[in-house]
């Protein structure tokens, strides 16, 4: 985890670094189970994923309708959302029934329509 904590210093952009961090955390949670540590807590990971998304749900849903006609910047943001949400599918069954889980469910429903 230390290497991933310094990913930006090594030259990765923040989104790519977060995708790597979130995938590792999701894999560890899936393999080892959850703990009270924020690193291995699925609810904490869900909050981190949601806070890292570069656009809000309403904009993403609107842009996804005709994403092929969107400016490159918007298409890239949608793709970043899709990549950031991938680990959420791994941990979804481990989440508590919270507003965070409900918000994540809305994003996961949209994820299949993202580029």
* pTM for the structure as a whole: 0.91
Q: What's the DSSP call for residue 35?
A: -
Per-residue model confidence as pLDDT tens digits over 52-100: 999 999 999 999 999 999 999 999 999 999 999 999 999 999 999 999 9
Closest CA to 88 of 109, 59, 60, 66: 109
Tallying the residues shown for the chain, one arrives at 115
Distance (Å, rounded) from C-alpha 102 to C-alpha 9?
Answer: 34
Q: Provide the mean pLDDT of the chain.
A: 93
Distance (Å, rounded) from C-alpha 34 to C-alpha 56?
Answer: 28
Which carries the bigger pLDDT value, residue 5 or residue 96? 96
Q: What is the pLDDT of residue 5?
A: 66
CA atoms within 13 A on the CB side of 40: 11
Q: What is the pLDDT of residue 36?
A: 85
Confidence of residue 44 (pLDDT cuts 50, 70, 90): very high
Report the pLDDT averaged over residues 19-30.
Answer: 95
């Amino acid at each position: 985890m230390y290497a991933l904590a310094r990913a930006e210093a090594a030259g990765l952009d923040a989104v790519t670094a977060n995708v790597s961090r979130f995938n590792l955390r999701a894999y560890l949670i899936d393999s080892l189970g959850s703990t009270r540590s924020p690193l291995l807590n699925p609810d904490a990971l869900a909050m981190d994923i949601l806070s890292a998304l570069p656009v809000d749900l309403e904009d993403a849903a609107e842009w996804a309708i005709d994403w092929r006609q969107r400016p490159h910047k918007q298409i890239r943001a949608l793709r970043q959302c899709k990549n950031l949400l991938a680990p959420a599918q791994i941990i979804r069954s481990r989440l508590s029934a919270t507003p965070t889980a409900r918000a994540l469910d809305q994003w996961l429903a949209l994820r299949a329509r993202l580029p």
